[in-house]
Chains A and B, each alone.
Chain A
Amino acid sequence: MGLIFIRTVIVFIATLIVMRLMGKRQIGEMQPYELVITLIIADLACIPMADNSIPLLYGLIAILTVYFLHQIICVLDLNFPAAKTVVSGSPSIVLNKNGIDDTQLKKNNLDVSDLIESLRVEGYFSLDAVDYALYEAEGTFSALPKPNYQDLQKSLPIIIFDEGKADEKNIRRTERPLKYFTDILKEHGCKDIKKVLVMTVDGNGKIYMQIKGQKYRVVDKKWEKTLW
């Protein structure tokens, strides 16, 4: 049983490390260690239950070990903030008043389209509609909108450039050539589209763009007709 204890501790820690390394994308509404417990405990309970050749005590000791580790993590969580950060992680502010923080996104294995998707789920369709957006340690997403955010999202923005890559399908929807957008980038001092973190455009011609390492910019081209 001592071996099962040690083996369970090793599997628990290894799974927890992997979950932490995978970032917030894999978690979703659970602390990393809670997800690890959920993943492990189901198997621990099932294997000795279903396999008659394994003593039930093997499963019970492993479950008791998981409980023991859970209690230790609870004590660490409450008393040692540094340990809490190591075990559970910390919130990641992925969008601030300067725009998208791609370092934080990459740290959590997320990309700009994931952020846009999370914003849409929260009801914010335009990147400039929010001042702050963050992923909590357990993977949930929250955003602080600008006071006048309703006025900033009159039409659905679509992605033109996503981390240096042009979205041909969306460019066709704008009824404008790629050059139209690269010229806008050039006007703002960006000659290489690979340096573009994101560029979106809404149906009225409002362009949101952010060049890597720079603050975001909003350019309103005021198209003659609303395209979508």
Chain B
Amino acid sequence: MIRTIVSIFVSLALIIGVAVFENLHIRQTFELFSQALESLYEKTESGTVTHEDGVAVETFWEKRKRTLHIWLPHTAILEIDYQLYEAVGYLYVQDFESAMPKIEILQGMCENIPQSYRFSLENIL
């Protein structure tokens, strides 16, 4: 009986621990990524952006996405990859007009993805 009760608490602690860590990790990662994208967007809007700025954001994302694969469906990460590579590609050819909507999409994704992991009725159901 004691073993059963201990196993209940251990499994519950594990689940809660993983859930809290996941929530914090995803939120923090996307907050940082969002800040990097915001800065990239401002520079693109003002025309002062360089290809290196784009590559810096891409490097940041590449580092972070390794751990995100543990928590997020890989298709969500692939979608961000796709939009980001396109945006950086436009920055390389200095097509700022085309790069801006891509960065906006990425900013939207940074808002939406962590929201889909919050405790809310619509996410549970």
Contact = CB atoms under 8 A, between A and B. Distances in A.
A218 B71 CA distance: 69
B28 to A, nearest CB: 16
A71 B74 contact: no
Q: Which DSSP category, helix, strand, loop or mixed, fits chain A's interface?
A: helix
Contacts, number: 61
B119 A71 contact: no
Given A53-B74, A57-B70, A68-B8, A2 B23 contact: yes
B19 A2 contact: yes
A181 interface: no
How many of chain A's residues touch chain B, expressed as a range?
20 to 34
Contacts of A75: 1, 4-5, 8
B22 A67 contact: no
A72 B73 CA distance: 30
B117 to A, nearest CB: 7
Contacts of B18: 1, 57, 61
Interface of B: 1, 4-5, 7-8, 11-12, 14-16, 18-20, 22-23, 69-75, 117, 119, 123-124
Interface of A: 1-3, 5-7, 10, 52-55, 57, 61, 64-65, 67-68, 71-72, 74-75, 78
6 contacts: A1-B15, A3-B117, A10-B124, A61-B15, A68-B12, A74-B4
